[in-house]
Amino acid sequence: MARPLNAGVAGPMTGQMEGLMMVTPLTLGELIIPRAEELFGHRAVIARVGDGVHRTTWAETCVRARRLAAALARLGVGPGDRVGTFAWNTHRHLEAYLAVPAMGAVLHTLNIRLFPEQVAYVVDHADDSVVLCDRSLLPLWRAVEPRLSRPRQVVVLPDLAADDSAAAQSSDLDYEELVAAAEPLAAWPQVDENAAAAMCYTSGTTGNPKGVVYSHRSTVLHSLAVGLADAQGLSSRDTVCAIVPMFHANSWGLPHASALVGASLVLPGRDLSPAAICQLIESERCTLAAGVPTIWSGVLDHWRRAKPDLSSLRFAVCGGSAVTESLSAAFEREIGVPILHAWGMTETSPIGSVSHLPVEPGAEADEATRRSYAMSQGRAVPGVVLRVVDENGAPVPRDGVTMGEIRVRGPWIAREYYRDGAPPDKFADGWLRTGDVATIDALGYIRIVDRTKDLVKSGGEWISSVELEGHLMAHPDVLEAAVIAVPDPKWDERPLACVVPRPEARGRLTAEALLEHLRPRVARWWLPDAIVFIDEVPKTSVGKFDKKVLRARYAPGETAAPLPVSEARG
Amino acid sequence: MARPLNAGVAGPMTGQMEGLMMVTPLTLGELIIPRAEELFGHRAVIARVGDGVHRTTWAETCVRARRLAAALARLGVGPGDRVGTFAWNTHRHLEAYLAVPAMGAVLHTLNIRLFPEQVAYVVDHADDSVVLCDRSLLPLWRAVEPRLSRPRQVVVLPDLAADDSAAAQSSDLDYEELVAAAEPLAAWPQVDENAAAAMCYTSGTTGNPKGVVYSHRSTVLHSLAVGLADAQGLSSRDTVCAIVPMFHANSWGLPHASALVGASLVLPGRDLSPAAICQLIESERCTLAAGVPTIWSGVLDHWRRAKPDLSSLRFAVCGGSAVTESLSAAFEREIGVPILHAWGMTETSPIGSVSHLPVEPGAEADEATRRSYAMSQGRAVPGVVLRVVDENGAPVPRDGVTMGEIRVRGPWIAREYYRDGAPPDKFADGWLRTGDVATIDALGYIRIVDRTKDLVKSGGEWISSVELEGHLMAHPDVLEAAVIAVPDPKWDERPLACVVPRPEARGRLTAEALLEHLRPRVARWWLPDAIVFIDEVPKTSVGKFDKKVLRARYAPGETAAPLPVSEARG
């Protein structure tokens, strides 16, 4: 009488009974915007625009979003059409964050830090129909326009006084005029939960930018995740300062999550100076703020000088790249605000993992252990399935030492890029291969050590270029250091370090001194075979080390002869 | 060039662009169980069974769940089949919570407090194939069996030593033997996210129990909701004591949510005495515990005598019925543990709203205001759309005074009952009509005042029977009081109070004294037209006031003549 259970076999199960719960679609128009408008309409939305601070509410923001949707429809924006934004974090950008997806169109946030050629590529690739552009960014946008395959309708968001708009053109439309002229949409349309809500292109260091297309479902689920106690724990009691740009992975999901939970939202506009950020946090009594490590090291420096009151912060959320131990420790000990370290990428919406201290026995035993967890990228948040795997796709031992690539799966992880197919090296077997190399410990905490393409694969073992760079940059005479792999006939690859000495150490700093500095810090076989001194590490448009330029210069492929160590060392 | 936007029209939108995120199904086998097993395998699962405490881990629980799934499949349980449980909160019941849904079958938790006839009705209506029954509950189950339409295979969960099983039969199977003999399922099957995961029958006071069928999707989303800072904020740092029975709306979602977030889970078994509960909370350092008001008033009494250390609790979660002001205040002031008041029902999975204090200005101004919010049922949690509406379905003013019925919508709200169709009076226009009557204030906080069927509709206005009962029961000579509506030719309905005097006040307490007591407390037109003294308020199988018995006795329908006031008053 036993019936077979189709476990472990491919394909979905049949014969299940149907659940009888509502099939409420997970969309912005159903679950996010009405909450902000009806339940938290009185909560504040605060944006620094130009030299002033614009104060409004979620209720007003939502009414203006309904006006904006009607105005965009009159401009010809229909279901599925892409609407580009070229803007700082302001209340108008927030209105577009709500209106464009909820009307069934697609919000395409353009990265203002890309080169004009790249912006033009992205606008053409996504086929944006309209672009909402901050007045302060018009000069940048005007450099993009000649490179576009066809002209786009520009709607100007007046973040500067009108007389500053030297780059304005007569064909530009004014955002405030459009919004004022439109009747608010009475009700949001019924959008499919799997329909596109937003898109964001990666600023990868290789090849053209790739488009990630978020769905309503992924956006709602990700917003719930941001509200989890195991993630940022965002709630109606928070006042959130979203420093991370709204053109970077939806400002880490904070605008939509704030609308869902009814948090007050503070948007810093163009001025990302430490003094301006501290002033906003202090005056608005922000409980949570989110930015990259360089933002927080600037804030730390400013705090040491000016001692602004940052005591309202529950956490300083930090992601984008790894936080240093000194920054993490100083923030907690001096300012009294813990840094909450998170990991993710454009392809992961972006929250993948968050590092809260574990409660497991021993984990909080001593300061060094605490610090090690605070510096880790934490555990996968609920909803994200995460593995650290070897080159064959098998999970590595959870010993905190063995390195492997992070693969993730889940309802807010990209399954393919827009109009790019699904390259098997990136999306395979239902997993996203992140390209991030990490260790994972017994409690499931990951620690990123490198990018796969930057690893040095030497004699079957992996050497972390990031760790070597960290040690080199800790030397007092070193300004910057980038480590790349060079082909080696015996070991396949060996590390080569490109070092920028501090100005005062030029000509004095020697390769031998750096090797001496590294010897007590890394395994002997990790020591670079060559150290070259350069004037500057080449950077991408968004400021990341551009190692492909260095590789082209020093590691010209396996067909070429390896660079003699003596020459490189000179 | 403007294209129409299909806002406000019926039917889904067309022409949207497809999102390119993974369509990871929201199922227990994909998102909940692997987290508990792989990421939080070391975290504790603790159950009081018999006289001892059984200590295990999530890893072991999940392995045993995979054994249980294989064992049930060998017994013939296939996709969509219902598996009944007749059990207290133990680790074995928890294994069934994971195994049965994840194998594609349906977990049907039977309410052990129903009359045997009702249990038999429910087992037959759901057509359970196998019933997992605690050994300690076998005597109760044996009373159910003769009333079943056909015999069911019983699997005995040994929560007592073998020699206590006087009610055992030779056809019963032993849970531990089955689990030991089965090989753990290697992988969970691919279940559709909209497939049924579990079902639970309401114990309504009218008609037969109704079956609510939870889906995998609703279970995963509800589990995420329990982890929201705006709900219970359940996290990997918690140790949860789930006092609310696992046969009541999935123990308010705590077992599945604990598995998702990796919380330790403490299950109290059969002994729900205040001393036993306090002992568990104290010894396991529970951070959160959930139960009905009677549990917490028992705990308060015990605490006042024995002063157990309950300081590890973040919250005492309280739902099921309204908490009294004295209980809420005493818990916070004396024990130092806030009561977190929540509202929901079997049809809402059950979390609908949770009362955290608002941060809005003025809300924490004084103790009375704080207490009023703590006593309210709070705001709808993210994912639940909630309206308080008048008899025409229009939202009532958000003044905290006007009464209306609560309607809810959302992905973890029932859309119909099992094999019961969708009666238009309960599920209409995509909303669940909860039958709960509440006020809603400007911040969206609801306060339940009655059930719709218990309201007294007098002259077009509503009188809350619950509020009148509360005032009557606050009189020192009153033990219990139930207020019902009686037909009235002029006002449609008028309130009649059925009062049980305390034994020492029998014969002494007068209707006039009670009216005198009510006069300063309620509006003049709320005063009952009649007060009758009775020996006992009739109760349902689960201990609720059974007002339909009182109505049959004192308000025999509109065709009958109204009860003369003078007679009733005597």
Q: Domains of chain A (ranges plus CATH)?
A: 31-271 (3.40.50.12780), 455-569 (3.30.300.30)
- The 10 Å Cβ neighbour count of residue B61 is 26
State pLDDT tens for residues A62-86: 999 999 999 999 999 999 999 999 9
> Containing H/E element for B239?
strand B239-242
- Indicate the burial class of B1 (C-beta count within 10 angstroms; 0-12, 13-18, 19 or more): exposed
Dig out the tokens for B550 from the structure.
């009182």
- The answer to whether residue B5 scores a pLDDT higher than 50 is no
DSSP at A322? P
B77 touches chain A (CB under 8 A): yes
Average of pLDDT values for B513-519?
95
Contact yes or no for A17 and B413 at CB 8 A = no
Closest-CA distance of chain A to residue B77, Å: 7
- Whether A516 sits among the annotated catalytic residues: the reply is no
Beta strands in A63-164 (DSSP E): 82-86, 106-109, 130-134, 153-157
Closest-CA distance of chain B to residue A385, Å: 7
Average of pLDDT values for A168-190?
95
- Whether B88 sits among the annotated catalytic residues: the reply is no
Greater confidence (B35 vs B425) lies with B35
To the nearest whole number, what is the mean pLDDT of chain A? Answer: 91
Looking only at the bridges linking them, the beta strands covering B288-291 and B264-267 are unpaired
CA-to-CA separations, B469 to B329, B483, B513, in angstroms, rounded: 20, 6, 15
Looking only at the bridges linking them, the beta strands covering A196-201 and A211-215 are antiparallel
Of A22, A191, A230, the CB nearest to B16: A191
What distance separates the 2 farthest-apart alpha carbons in chain B?
Answer: 84
A365 touches chain B (CB under 8 A): no
Share of chain A above pLDDT 70, in %: 93
Tell me what pLDDT residue A557 has: 53
State pLDDT tens for residues B220-233: 999 999 999 999 99
Share of chain A above pLDDT 90, in %: 77
State pLDDT tens for residues B447-477: 999 888 888 999 888 899 988 998 998 899 9
CA–CA dist B244, B266 (Å, integer): 11
Tell me what pLDDT residue A556 has: 66
Calculate the dihedral angle through the C-alpha atoms of A145, A147, A152, A153, rounding to the nearest 10 degrees: 0
B236 touches chain A (CB under 8 A): yes
Q: Are the C-beta atoms of residues B93 and B87 closer than 8 Å to each other?
A: yes
Contact yes or no for B39 and A444 at CB 8 A = yes
Which chain A residues in 392-411 lie under 8 Å from chain B, judged by CB atoms? 409-411
Residue (of B190, B198, B156, B150) closest to B173 by Cα position: B156
- The residue annotated as part of the active site, out of B37, B95, B347, B493, is B347
Greater confidence (B121 vs A422) lies with B121
Closest-CA distance of chain B to residue A80, Å: 4
CA-to-CA separations, A229 to A53, A183, B40, B235, in angstroms, rounded: 31, 39, 16, 6
To the nearest whole number, what is the mean pLDDT of chain B? Answer: 91
Q: Place A421 in a pLDDT band, splitting at 50, 70 and 90.
A: low
Whether the predicted model's global pTM rises above the 0.90 cut: yes
Mutation site, A9, A13, A21, A234, interface B, largest B CB count within 10 A: A21
Contact yes or no for A22 and B414 at CB 8 A = yes
- The residue annotated as part of the active site, out of B462, B469, B493, B547, is B462
B65 touches chain A (CB under 8 A): no
Share of chain B above pLDDT 70, in %: 93
Q: Are the C-beta atoms of residues A202 and A209 closer than 8 Å to each other?
A: yes
Which chain B residues in 459-488 lie under 8 Å from chain A, judged by CB atoms? none
Contact yes or no for B16 and A385 at CB 8 A = no
Greater confidence (B55 vs A4) lies with B55
Q: Which residues of A touch B77 (CB under 8 A)?
A: 3
CA–CA dist A130, A115 (Å, integer): 20
SS3 B212: strand
Greater confidence (A546 vs A267) lies with A267
Residue carrying structure tokens 């396949």: A492
CA–CA dist B249, B268 (Å, integer): 17
Q: Which residues of B touch A26 (CB under 8 A)?
A: 411
Tell me what pLDDT residue B7 has: 39
Tell me what pLDDT residue A10 has: 47
Contact yes or no for B21 and A235 at CB 8 A = no
Supply angle C-alpha A266, A271, A275, rounded to 5. 85
CA–CA dist A294, A285 (Å, integer): 22
Q: Where are the alpha helices (DSSP H) in B10-168?
A: 33-34, 58-74, 91-102, 116-126, 138-144
Contact yes or no for B18 and A358 at CB 8 A = no
- The answer to whether residue B349 scores a pLDDT higher than 90 is yes
Closest-CA distance of chain B to residue A493, Å: 34
Contact yes or no for B230 and A261 at CB 8 A = yes
> Containing H/E element for B175?
helix B175-181
- Indicate the burial class of A543 (C-beta count within 10 angstroms; 0-12, 13-18, 19 or more): exposed
Dig out the tokens for B505 from the structure.
């006040």
Residue (of A251, A255, A186, A191) closest to A27 by Cα position: A191
Average of pLDDT values for B474-494?
92
- The answer to whether residue A422 scores a pLDDT higher than 60 is no
Q: Place B204 in a pLDDT band, splitting at 50, 70 and 90.
A: low
Closest-CA distance of chain A to residue B553, Å: 37
Contact yes or no for B79 and A13 at CB 8 A = yes
Q: Which residue type occupies A221? A: L
Of B3, B410, B444, the CB nearest to A78: B3
Mutation site, B6, B14, B16, interface A, largest A CB count within 10 A: B16
Contact yes or no for B13 and A214 at CB 8 A = no
Tell me what pLDDT residue B9 has: 42
CA–CA dist A418, A138 (Å, integer): 27
Q: Place A364 in a pLDDT band, splitting at 50, 70 and 90.
A: low
- Whether A252 sits among the annotated catalytic residues: the reply is no
CA-to-CA separations, A499 to A457, A470, B271, in angstroms, rounded: 21, 12, 69
Chain B residue with Cα closest to A239: B359
Tell me what pLDDT residue B563 has: 38
Contact yes or no for A4 and B216 at CB 8 A = no
CA–CA dist A277, A280 (Å, integer): 5
What distance separates the 2 farthest-apart alpha carbons in chain A?
Answer: 84
ipTM of the complex: 0.91
Closest-CA distance of chain B to residue A64, Å: 16
Average of pLDDT values for B376-404?
96
Q: Which residues of A touch B69 (CB under 8 A)?
A: 5, 7
Dig out the tokens for A180 from the structure.
């004022």
A443 touches chain B (CB under 8 A): yes
Tell me what pLDDT residue A540 has: 80
Q: Are the C-beta atoms of residues A230 and A356 closer than 8 Å to each other?
A: yes
Closest-CA distance of chain B to residue A117, Å: 25
- Cis peptide, bond prior to residue B184, ω within 30 of zero: no
Which chain B residues in 239-268 lie under 8 Å from chain A, judged by CB atoms? 260-262
Of B26, B196, B262, the CB nearest to A16: B196
Q: Place A205 in a pLDDT band, splitting at 50, 70 and 90.
A: low
Closest-CA distance of chain B to residue A532, Å: 43
Tell me what pLDDT residue B234 has: 98
Contact yes or no for A16 and B104 at CB 8 A = yes
DSSP letter for each residue of A269-281:
BT---HHHHHHHH
A77 touches chain B (CB under 8 A): yes
CA–CA dist A216, A194 (Å, integer): 6
Closest-CA distance of chain A to residue B119, Å: 21
State pLDDT tens for residues A109-141: 999 999 899 999 999 999 999 999 999 999 999
Average of pLDDT values for B239-258?
97
- The answer to whether residue B363 scores a pLDDT higher than 90 is no
- Whether B346 sits among the annotated catalytic residues: the reply is no
Which chain B residues in 41-60 lie under 8 Å from chain A, judged by CB atoms? 42-43
- The answer to whether residue A9 scores a pLDDT higher than 70 is no
Average of pLDDT values for B365-381?
90
State pLDDT tens for residues B82-128: 999 999 999 999 999 999 999 999 999 999 999 899 999 999 999 99
State pLDDT tens for residues B419-440: 986 566 788 889 999 999 999 9
- The answer to whether residue A569 scores a pLDDT higher than 70 is no
Contact yes or no for A224 and B360 at CB 8 A = no
B421 touches chain A (CB under 8 A): no
Tell me what pLDDT residue A86 has: 98
- The answer to whether residue A424 scores a pLDDT higher than 80 is no
Contact yes or no for B31 and A382 at CB 8 A = yes
Of A19, A24, A196, the CB nearest to B214: A19
Size of interface A-B (CB pairs under 8 A): 337
Dig out the tokens for A59 from the structure.
């209720």
Average of pLDDT values for A35-54?
94
DSSP letter for each residue of A329-394:
HHIIIII---EEEEEE-GGGSSEEEEEPPP-STTTTSSHHHHHHHHHS-BEEPTT-EEEEE-TTSP
